[in-house]
Amino acid sequence: MTDTDTVIRLLLADDHPVVRAGLRAVLQTEPGMAVVAEAATAEEAVARAAGGDIDVVLMDLQFGGGMSGAEATAAITARPDAPRVVIVTTYDTDADTLPAIEAGATGYLLKDAPPEDLAAAVRTAAAGRTTLAPAVADRLLHRLRSPGTSLTRRETEVLTLVAAGLSNHAIATRLHLTEGTVKSHLARVYTKLGVDSRTAAVATATELGLIRR
């Protein structure tokens, strides 16, 4: 095996140049790592990751518009011999973590993680293992231990749109559902959270960290 074979080749995907510069500054100094590409949009990240010369993608979740980080992660990991994806974001609610992990992310770190944790997560991902920020791991364990109060991905999507002020009709249109299906999702949310109104559901879910306002 040559030296080039052992280098972990990185793609940095974030719409903020300052964040990409910070990640590059940290990771370029790590032995055995090389930042070979950057992407300012999720679409760019998907296209660049398909080039065959990327081992690990560091992916933000929220871009200015278009495809989200979770959608990009799903598109990247769906390919044969795909690079690993590590989410690096400021968000740790269920509404953010679950879609990303379900999409195939190998790691999930918060942007305030120490540089050594970031480097360790990249090496762990390159080896095919998972790294989760402590807050994210705790939340996932809580979901497993208390499934009765956990919202499904679709329930989380519906409630997030309720929190944004959308009507049932508008939510149905946005998610390509029937209005009756939206009402059914909300009914299950009310039961799980022990509430009886949209306002109470949003307040309780926000307090529990199930959705982000």
Same domain flag for 59 and 82: yes
Same domain flag for 161 and 187: yes
Model's pTM, two decimal places? Answer: 0.70
Whole-angstrom distance, CA of residue 61 vs CA of residue 14: 8
Alpha carbon distance, N-terminus to C-terminus of the chain: 49
H or E segment to which residue 80 belongs: none
Greatest Cα-to-Cα distance within the chain, rounded to the nearest angstrom: 63
Range(s) of the domain holding residue 187: 147-207
Sequential pLDDT tens for the chain (213 residues):
334 458 999 999 999 999 999 999 999 999 999 999 999 999 999 999 999 999 999 999 988 878 899 999 999 999 988 999 999 998 877 777 878 888 899 999 998 889 999 999 999 999 999 988 887 777 677 666 665 667 888 898 999 999 999 999 999 999 999 999 999 999 999 988 888 899 989 988 887 778 876
pLDDT of 148-170, one tens digit each?
667 888 898 999 999 999 999 99
Whole-number pLDDT of residue 143: 64
Distance of CA 136 to the CA centre of its chain: 11
| 62 domain residue, yes or no | yes
